[in-house]
Amino acid sequence: MTPPAESLRVLAVDDVAPALDEICALLADAPDVGEVARAGGAVEALRAIPTGRFDAVFLDITMPGMDGLELGGVLAAMATPPEIVFVTAFEEHAVAAYGLGAVDYLLKPVGADRLADALGRVHRARAGRSAAGPGTAGGTAPEPAGPALPRVDELAVLPVEAAGRTRYVRREDVRFVEAHGDYVRLHLPGGSHLVRIPLSRLEEHWDPHRFVRVHRSFLLHLPAVRELRSDAGGGLLAHTDAGDVPVSRRHARDLRDQLLAAATAGALDGHRAPDGDGPGSGRGRP
């Protein structure tokens, strides 16, 4: 039998009183929750958080003034942040929520079993923080827990909504990403998809996977580059099978160097071009 988990101190935040009552009641009934505090909005939550250390915050998204995603960003920036679990009636904010580092995303109405699963994720995330280094309170050494869990916010797959359907786009299928305010457009050979997540957030998580900034508004997947071209004005374009990507002057040299290094290492085979159509064949310089 699994030993009892350490009791959690939890803050629930929701501007709708019945919804707040419901999530607080569920949390109070959970055997591994020792204390439940409540806040009727983001401002009240920010006042409550400095008064005591919470292990987790269960957070609604659609609230007046500062919404849950904005509050989540503030919490994530704390020196010792609580684990964040979003609780909402809307599916479309999941990508942004996980991009903030949330450990789970619950859809209302929340059942006891689903809540227990979320609390388990909170425990595992806290154990991961403790194992990563000092600075987390706790009197006992972490027990061996088997293989480390993958980070929930790696964003290897992005859900996109279209015509009432959800499609899951794999990161490796994306050729380049274009910024559209708080959204990005993912460009694939067969079309494009709009997703609500800032380009800077996506860059943070996709940078280790050979997505590089080549322009203020564009991320480019290095293996997707078939060649470099000059445009009519003498600027540089990176050609992919999903379209051309403008490369700013400040990023041009770095892109050329990275393409050369990738080609030397044999790392440009993911989207092979026809013979004679390889990266670096463009003659234009910014």
pLDDT of residue 52: 62
186 and 258 co-located in one domain: yes
Residue 152 lies inside a defined structural domain of this protein: no
* Same domain for 128 and 27: yes
Phi, psi of 142 (to 5 degrees): -65, 140
Residues in the chain with pLDDT values less than 70: 1-5, 51-52, 131-155, 162-164, 267-286
Is residue 146 situated within a structural domain?
no
Residue 183 lies in a domain: yes
Domain end (from 132, 151, 177): 132
Does residue 238 contact residue 247 with C-beta atoms inside 8 Å?
yes
Query: Which pLDDT score, from 0 to 100, does residue 143 have?
Result: 39
Q: Residue 139: what pLDDT?
A: 38
Is 195 found in the same domain as 98? no
Q: Tell me if 245 is assigned to some domain.
A: yes
Task: Say what the pLDDT of residue 114 is.
Answer: 93
- For residue 13, what pLDDT is reported? 96
Domain count, the chain: 2
Q: Which pLDDT value is given to residue 98?
A: 86
Residue numbers of the domain that contains 252: 169-264
Q: pTM score, two decimals?
A: 0.48
Q: How far apart are the first and last CA of the chain?
A: 65
The predicted pLDDT at position 238 comes to: 95
User: Do 113 and 188 have their domain in common?
Assistant: no
Domain CATH code at residue 210: 2.40.50.1020
Average pLDDT, the chain: 81
Tell whether 49 is covered by a domain.
yes
**pLDDT for 279:** 44
